[in-house]
Amino acid sequence: MSIDVRHINAFLEATQAVFSSMVKLPVTFEKPELGTRDNQYDVSGVIGLSGDVLGSVIVGFTKLSAVQIASAFAQTRLEIGTPDFADAIGELANMIAGGAKAKFEGQSVSIGCPSVIIAPGHKVTSPSSAKSICIHCNTAAGRFTIDVAIQSSTKAQASPAAAASGRTSTAVPASRAA
Amino acid sequence: MRVLVVDDSKTMRNIVKGVLGTIGVTAIEEAGDGQDALSRVDAFKPDVILLDWNMPVMDGITFVRTYRAKNKTTPIIMVTTEAEKSRVMEAIQAGVNNYAVKPFTPESLSKIIETTMAKASVKKAA
């Protein structure tokens, strides 16, 4: 599977826009790297893409960075595990994915409802054929990772539906999209 | 001014309420989806509706079509991540008055609300 570099740029631009306008935290990006969905997170927001582009996007955090970034976004202190916390993480993932897909020129793409997974050290896996691009992002409130595993649907064999796996995987569907 | 805020994200509703507060709006009703909004809109009688697109139960575009089919003219501003030109056109054809793309700054959203209300006032006076 190959990932179009324009798609990765779209995620960088969308993340920059979300953080500058709504989280009010400057964000810097490390060099994108090829991944195999082997990263571990304490909190992740997962969104599926369908239409002309298929795949999924993970916005993954450590517990501390998730609490600090979600709180900065919501403009109030959020506690991990509460519905408001999951809602904020889901909305962040939604805006990043939504903002990126709007930049996929000439491609009609829909995004699904975000799911939020809260479990120490969990992984979000995809089919073994799926490769991903990981973008590690740094803010004053902590580090997070955007893990993009997408491909144009003409080449797609299947949408890599994300599934949680890990020591204590507890899927907490945010049950919403924006 | 009375504003109905329709979004399935409580976080986003709170952020929008904060923006409305900066322009002096205190009469705010919240709904979590289009169906919920339909059940509240007649009693609340908003001056403007701020509406998300992608929501469970009933999405924003279905709300617009349903609401406009009842000959309701309250201005509707779509506030959504759906930024593609085709989506904007679809919303306007359905009866949306203005469009704000997430993410937004407080300044940009308040300007869109004020512009929409100003246009609605002119239309009403004409």
**Integer CA distances (angstroms), A29 to A12, A32, A74, in order:** 8, 8, 22
**B12 chain-A contacts, CB cut-off 8 A:** 91, 178
Helices (H), A38-144: 63-74, 83-101
CB-CB under 8 Å, B84 with A102: yes
Confirm or reject contact between B55 and chain A (CB < 8 A): yes
pLDDT at position A37: 82
Give the integer Cα–Cα distance in Å for B103 and A17: 7
CB-CB under 8 Å, B83 with A98: yes
B82: Cβ contacts below 8 Å, ≥ 6 apart: A98, A102, B53, B54, B88, B91, B101
**B80 chain-A contacts, CB cut-off 8 A:** 98, 178
pLDDT at position A161: 41
Give the integer Cα–Cα distance in Å for A58 and B81: 17
> Is-contact B17 B28, C-beta < 8 A?
yes
**B55 chain-A contacts, CB cut-off 8 A:** 176-178
DSSP A72: H
pLDDT at position A165: 38
Please state the domain extents for chain B.
2-121
CATH architecture of B2-121: 3-Layer(aba) Sandwich (3.40)
Note the pLDDT tens digit of each residue in B9-28. Answer: 999 999 999 999 999 998 99
Note the pLDDT tens digit of each residue in B48-97. Answer: 999 999 999 999 999 999 999 999 999 999 999 998 889 999 999 999 99
Chain-centre distance of CA A104, in angstroms? 17
pLDDT at position A126: 79
The 3-state DSSP class for residue A161 equals coil
CB-CB under 8 Å, B56 with A177: yes
pLDDT at position A131: 76
CA distance B56 to chain A (A): 6
CB-CB under 8 Å, B7 with A74: no
Please state the domain extents for chain A.
5-172
Question: What ipTM was predicted for this assembly?
Answer: 0.88
Confirm or reject contact between B102 and chain A (CB < 8 A): yes
> What is the CATH code for A5-172?
3.40.1550.10
Write the DSSP string, B7-69. -S-HHHHHHHHHHHHHTT--EEEEESSHHHHHHHHHHH--SEEEE-SS-SSS-HHHHHHHHHH
Please name the residue of chain A whose CA is at the shortest distance from the CA of residue B85. Answer: A102
pLDDT at position A175: 42
A75: Cβ contacts below 8 Å, ≥ 6 apart: B14, B15, B18
- Chunked mean pLDDT (size 10), chain A, 178 residues: 80 97 96 88 96 93 97 95 94 96 88 93 80 93 95 57 36 43
